[in-house]
Structure 1
Amino acid sequence: MKAPLTRFYCMSKECGFEETTHKLKEGIPCPKCKGPVLSQRVEKGEINNERTNSHNS
């Protein structure tokens, strides 16, 4: 069974790292700036809304 879909993003707003995946990546440092990374579980409808909104802007 897959892990839940999770969005990982850097705490530093200047960095801008963000990744959405089913892989478990808890506790990893940011690959860009080596800072702390936060995670947020993504619901199925949220990922589709993000893609739609990015195409509209």
Structure 2
Amino acid sequence: MPDPRYLNDPEEESEPWTEPIEAEDDQSAQETCQELADEYNVELTDVTHQGGNNYDCHFQ
């Protein structure tokens, strides 16, 4: 899990970042990314397909 000290600025606005995952399809990727967002207590802003089973979760 990313260290929140490095993701938050003094105004308490989190910085955007991307985390790669593997998933079988778009729906599985969306669900996995949302689970990570919930775990990290951040907002999931997008999920992008990078090819094959590779996806990127975009958080803020």
Larger strand share, 1 or 2: 2
TM-score, normalising length from structure 1? 0.31
What TM-score, normalized to structure 2?
A: 0.30
